[in-house]
């Protein structure tokens, strides 16, 4: 609900793009935390949370490895399906791409541009920025680079999807941690982080409100299904 209100009822899009602004740096940091680097850090934290509930050091090591490997496979399969099938089928345009073409008077080229492969689009946008420096001087260089790198389709938001899916799994590990029950009150922190990742995607112009809300809903749904299955919970938290 908070994400819906933030992205639909506030003038949020493209607010985190001004060069060297604190809001821009903050939004970029949260977006980065939802990317590959942040993923592996959170993966290790989640594995440690599940492992801490085991009794012996050997069991802790086994649970940690099982948790990390199973989550890598789970997230890897979902990311593959999203990037190779879901997004290409829906072919949703990124707001950053629309903005870049509008700034250079090439708005009508977007449909034909999306017929090209991702690497070709990346080269196109990189060239576009280099040949029109004045049109993009109000955009932070890191945001420009991110727009170029994110040359794929838009719907749903992969960063937001991963963030809320991870939030579900990590919150479960924190809330049901037998070794440190006092930490139970911290189980909402992963959701606050996921919310800020979603907000950052819209603020940076990388996604629309629909993209991030769909990503959040899918992440919560698949996270709930993942944890609902007894076999999955047993695999994550037990030695055998």
Residue ranges covered by each domain of the chain? 2-7+33-92+153-237
User: Pick the residue with more confidence: 190 or 180?
Assistant: 190
User: Pick the residue with more confidence: 180 or 174?
Assistant: 174
pLDDT averaged over every residue in the chain: 84
Q: Which residues 6+ apart lie within 8 Å of 75 measured at CB?
A: 39, 162, 165, 166
Q: Is the pLDDT of residue 231 over 70?
A: no
Alpha helices in the chain (DSSP H): 2-8, 22-33, 36-51, 57-81, 87-90, 95-103, 110-113, 118-131, 141-149, 158-175, 189-203, 209-228, 230-237
Model pLDDT for residues 72-97, shown as the tens digit of each residue:
888 888 888 888 888 888 788 899 99
Cα-based distances in Å from 31 to 101, 163, 194: 23, 10, 10
What pLDDT score does 29 carry? 92
Q: What is the mean pLDDT of residues 18-44?
A: 87
Residue 70 near residue 235 (C-beta atoms within 8 A): yes
Q: Which residues 6+ apart lie within 8 Å of 128 measured at CB?
A: 100, 101, 104, 106
Residue 43 near residue 73 (C-beta atoms within 8 A): no
CA distance 42 to 68: 10
Model pLDDT for residues 87-137, shown as the tens digit of each residue:
888 788 899 998 988 988 887 778 888 888 888 889 988 998 898 888 888
The share of the chain scoring above pLDDT 70, in percent, equals 93
Cα-based distances in Å from 88 to 164, 174, 222: 22, 36, 21
DSSP conformational letter for 185: G
Nearest alpha-carbon partner for 93 in 68, 113, 74: 113
Residue 135 near residue 197 (C-beta atoms within 8 A): no
């Amino acid at each position: 609900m908070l994400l819906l209100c933030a992205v639909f009822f506030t003038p949020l899009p493209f607010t985190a793009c001004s060069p060297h602004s604190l809001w821009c740096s903050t939004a970029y940091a949260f977006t980065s935390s939802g990317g590959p680097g942040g993923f592996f850090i959170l993966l290790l934290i989640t594995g440690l949370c599940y492992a801490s509930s085991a009794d012996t050091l050997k069991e802790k090591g086994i649970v940690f490895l099982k948790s990390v490997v199973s989550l890598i496979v789970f997230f890897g399969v979902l990311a593959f399906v999203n990037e190779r099938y879901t997004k290409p089928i829906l072919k949703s345009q990124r707001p950053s791409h629309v903005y870049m073409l509008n700034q250079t008077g090439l708005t009508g080229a977007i449909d034909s541009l999306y017929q090209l492969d991702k690497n070709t689009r990346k080269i196109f946008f990189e060239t576009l920025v280099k040949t029109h420096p004045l049109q993009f001087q109000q955009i932070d260089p890191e945001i420009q680079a991110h727009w170029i790198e994110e040359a794929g389709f838009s719907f749903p938001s992969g960063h937001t999807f991963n963030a809320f899916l991870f939030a579900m799994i990590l919150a479960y590990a924190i809330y049901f941690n037998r070794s440190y029950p006092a930490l139970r009150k911290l189980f909402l922190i992963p959701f606050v982080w996921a919310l800020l990742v979603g907000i950052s995607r819209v603020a940076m112009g990388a996604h629309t409100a629909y993209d991030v809300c769909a990503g959040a809903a899918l992440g919560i749904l698949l996270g709930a299904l993942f944890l609902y299955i007894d076999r999955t919970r047993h695999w994550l938290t037990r030695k055998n």
